[in-house]
């Protein structure tokens, strides 16, 4: 009986797909990591460019604040609720960090942006009580940036661009 047999060597195509996958995955990680830097820069800019309009306090350099003028005290205008925090010591600006990595199955890219200043959480979300002076209303500096449509669009555009470039390097269309 006549027989017809087809044989196709797919190993070259599979190697190409694996290389394309790795290139696109690594390019995406790079793009997300660069975008996290953009988000941090915008958070810092939001704090640096704010014009505080809250209460005036006085400090002597040890950053203990008082509402009464102190001998040799320097005036500090605090931020009003809803405004980004006013700069006093600069710790908040210096305390940003990020970590960008693959999930266990390499199916997701995760990027954490954190601020390690001990009071960052209180400024971002406010408090219900404090030891003196009552509750603190939120002074958000991270959340508005994270939900920024412009920055998210820029990040997605960057990811698409680097993935397309990585795919084209392996002959994808």
Domain ranges of the chain: 19-51+84-169
What percent of the chain is predicted at pLDDT more than 90?
Answer: 47
Total Cβ atoms within 10 A of residue 21: 14
Question: Regarding predicted confidence, which is higher, 6 or 101?
Answer: 101
Average pLDDT for residues 108-130, to the nearest whole number?
90
Q: Please, which residues have CB within 8 angstroms of residue 9's CB and are 6 or more apart in sequence?
A: none
pLDDT of 17 over the 90 cut: no
SS3 content of the chain, % helix, strand, coil (to 5): 40, 15, 45
| Model pLDDT for residues 24-63, shown as the tens digit of each residue | 889 999 999 999 999 999 999 999 998 899 888 888 777 6
Q: Among residues 147, 143, 117, 109, which one has the least CA distance to residue 28?
A: 109
Confidence label for 2 from pLDDT (cuts 50, 70 and 90): confident
Residue 171 has pLDDT above 90, yes or no: no
At residue 124, the pLDDT reads: 93
Q: Which two tokens stand for residue 48?
A: 């640096």
Model confidence at 7, in pLDDT bands (50, 70, 90)? confident
């Amino acid at each position: 009986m006549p027989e017809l047999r087809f044989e196709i060597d797919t190993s070259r195509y599979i190697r190409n797909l694996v290389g394309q996958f790795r290139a696109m995955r690594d390019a995406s990680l790079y793009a997300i990591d660069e975008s996290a830097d953009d988000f941090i820069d915008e958070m810092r800019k939001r704090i640096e460019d704010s014009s505080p309009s809250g209460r005036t306090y006085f400090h002597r350099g040890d950053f203990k604040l008082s509402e009464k003028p102190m001998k040799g005290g320097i005036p500090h205008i605090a931020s009003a609720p809803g405004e980004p925090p006013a700069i006093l010591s600069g710790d908040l600006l210096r305390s940003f960090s990020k970590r960008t990595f693959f999930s266990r199955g390499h199916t997701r890219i995760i990027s954490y942006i954190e601020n390690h200043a001990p009071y960052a959480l209180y400024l971002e979300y406010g408090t219900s009580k404090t030891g003196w002076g009552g509750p603190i209303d939120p002074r958000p500096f991270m959340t508005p940036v994270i939900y920024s449509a412009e920055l998210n669009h820029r990040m997605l555009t960057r990811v698409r661009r680097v993935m397309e470039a990585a795919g084209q390097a392996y002959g994808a269309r």
